[in-house]
Copies of this chain bind each other. A is one copy, B any other.
Amino acid sequence: MKVIVSRKAQFNAAHRLYNPDWSFEKNDEVFGKCNNPNYHGHNYQLVVSVKGTIDPETGYVIDIKDLKSLIKEHVEDAFDHRNLNLDTEEFKKLNPTAENIAVVIWNKLRPHVKPSLELKVQLHETERNFVEFEG
């Protein structure tokens, strides 16, 4: 009998969508205004979920204070108030679409969550657009 525990967080970042192997025209056609060379930005809203059994001693699947700290250390401290393309290693060569950001966050968190716990990441790029990844 497993329970999912979720924690919401947020980070504010600049980014630009483009493929360096393409011409500016091709990038413009595919990514439109998201290809602005001067960047634009978002309030990224993040939901990190872990699924596992309840520890009978604590009543917790995971101490949500620990989950909050993991998100702060591995996601917020790395991405908040950053330019994803310029300031992070992960997106130097990877297009920072919502899909890719979610996968990167999942990969950053996975080693720090016990193997017995399943992990899911939901990332809202705007009020109307969001993505999910569970490995």
Given the contacts A3-B133, A36-B83, A8 and B128 also touching, CB distance less than 8 Å: yes
- Selected from B9, B33, B82, B126, the residue in CB contact (under 8 A) with A36 is B82
Whether the Cβ atoms of A99 and B5 lie closer than 8 Å is: yes
CB A54 to nearest CB in B, in angstroms, measures 5
Whether the Cβ atoms of B38 and A87 lie closer than 8 Å is: yes
**A3, A19, A33: most-surrounded residue (chain B CB, <10 A):** A3
- Selected from B64, B82, B103, B126, the residue in CB contact (under 8 A) with A12 is B126
Whether the Cβ atoms of B39 and A42 lie closer than 8 Å is: no
A residues with CB within 8 A of B: 1-10, 12-15, 17, 19, 30, 32-34, 36, 38-43, 45, 54, 57-61, 63-65, 80-83, 86-87, 94-100, 102-103, 126-133, 135
